[in-house]
Chains A and B, each alone.
Chain A
Amino acid sequence: MKHNLILRVIAKFLFPVIALFAFYVQFHGDFGPGGGFQAGVILSVAFIFYALVFGLKTTEEVIPPHLLRILASMGILIYAGTGITTMLMGGNFLDYNLLSLTPIQGQHIGIMVVEAGVGITVFSVMLMIFFAFAGRERPQETDHD
């Protein structure tokens, strides 16, 4: 689809809009519908859209697959790490109340961090799966990776 001018212009225009919406869903999840899972999916949709129009190779240059694998593990690590942190601070696993001076502030921070972890993992896993499927039948460069 590389020669389709209208599609390319629209894709370039829509990519930041979709990404921005994903971040809105991520950080506004406390107040409106949405949260980490939806935000991660929407952000990965932006990249998949980009990949559909500009090709897989260009997208893998934007966000390399090995980085995705690290990010996917990082998300869970952030989530579980929050739990361990609260344990080290003397509370229960995932007891956000201790994360700040007041319990409510702690809850705010805890939910934010945990949702960020969810978002990162979901985003990278969705893209990983897409890359795995879409990159299957490509002529392969062995020196890459």
Chain B
Amino acid sequence: MIDTLIDVTLLAFLAVTAIAIIKVRNLFVVIMLFGIFSLHSAGLFVVMDAADVAFTEAAVGAGISTVLMLATLALTRNQQEKMPVHRARLPLLVVLITAGALIYGTYDIPSFGDSRSPSQEYLKPQYIERGVKETGTPNIVTALLASYRGYDTLGEVTVIFTAGIGVLLLVGGRITRRVKPGESGPERRKIDET
């Protein structure tokens, strides 16, 4: 009963935030709403007993990405989103059809917490049974990520590293090095282009 109440409340907040994000034109407000949206999702993950995911969502979604988007907003200096000049009927149709297909697809997904779904029956009992015995790590999530699927996690870390390198190459401070001190942004860019 109380679980349902929390679920409904959080999902309602999510929906309200999402609609607000669509409606509001001030980008600063939109970024703040995105942070709130992430926080609500983190709350939902906690309700679903996925504490690790909630952790990540709260730290990355509500924390870092909000700060990064604010930094981007400070760079672009354009606080207002432009009103669209025409009504987007065809995109709306495409979105509606896709959403309908996706919602139809959810009927084939095993319901939440279904103990007889394929993913619960095939490997998971093995991990639960052998995880603590083989790795001595009570948190099975950690045992899975770091030990059983060490390859995957190594790949993920490499992806993060590559992303960092990519950002450094794109917006890193290297290009400004040739310029004398005391010059402001727009001139600097012009010098670089010539």
Q: Which residues of A pack against B, CB within 8 Å?
A: 25, 29-38, 41-42, 44-45, 48, 52, 65, 69, 72-73, 75-76, 79-80, 83, 93-94, 96, 103-105, 107-108, 110-111, 114-115, 117-118, 121-122, 124-126, 128-137, 139-142, 145
Contact = CB atoms under 8 A, between A and B. Distances in A.
B68 A129 contact: yes
B24 interface: no
Interface of B: 51-52, 54-56, 59-60, 63-64, 67-68, 71-72, 74-75, 134-139, 141-143, 145-147, 150-151, 153-154, 156-158, 160-161, 163-164, 167-168, 171-173, 176-185, 188
A41 B146 CA distance: 17
A106 to B, nearest CB: 9
14 contacts: A30-B142, A31-B137, A32-B139, A35-B142, A38-B56, A48-B63, A79-B153, A96-B147, A108-B135, A114-B150, A128-B168, A140-B183, A141-B181, A142-B178
A142 B179 contact: yes
Contacts of A139: 181-184
A52 B168 CA distance: 20
A18 to B, nearest CB: 10
Given A35-B142, A125-B161, A41 B151 contact: no
B177 A145 contact: yes
Classify the interface of chain B: helix, strand, loop or mixed.
helix
B51 to A, nearest CB: 4
A102 to B, nearest CB: 9
A35 B145 contact: yes
A107 B142 contact: no
A107 B134 contact: yes
B64 A130 contact: yes
Given A35-B141, A35-B145, A110-B147, 12 more contacts: A31-B137, A33-B54, A38-B56, A45-B64, A76-B158, A103-B134, A104-B135, A104-B136, A107-B135, A111-B143, A122-B157, A131-B173
A115 B64 CA distance: 21
Contact of B171 (A29, A105, A114, A136): A136
Nearest to B72: A133
Contact of A125 (B137, B154, B164): B164
Nearest to B53: A33
A86 to B, nearest CB: 10
A118 B161 CA distance: 10
B64 A44 contact: yes
Nearest to A94: B150
Given A79-B154, A142-B181, A107 B176 contact: no
Contacts of A35: 52, 141-142, 145-146
Contacts of B158: 76
Nearest to B56: A38
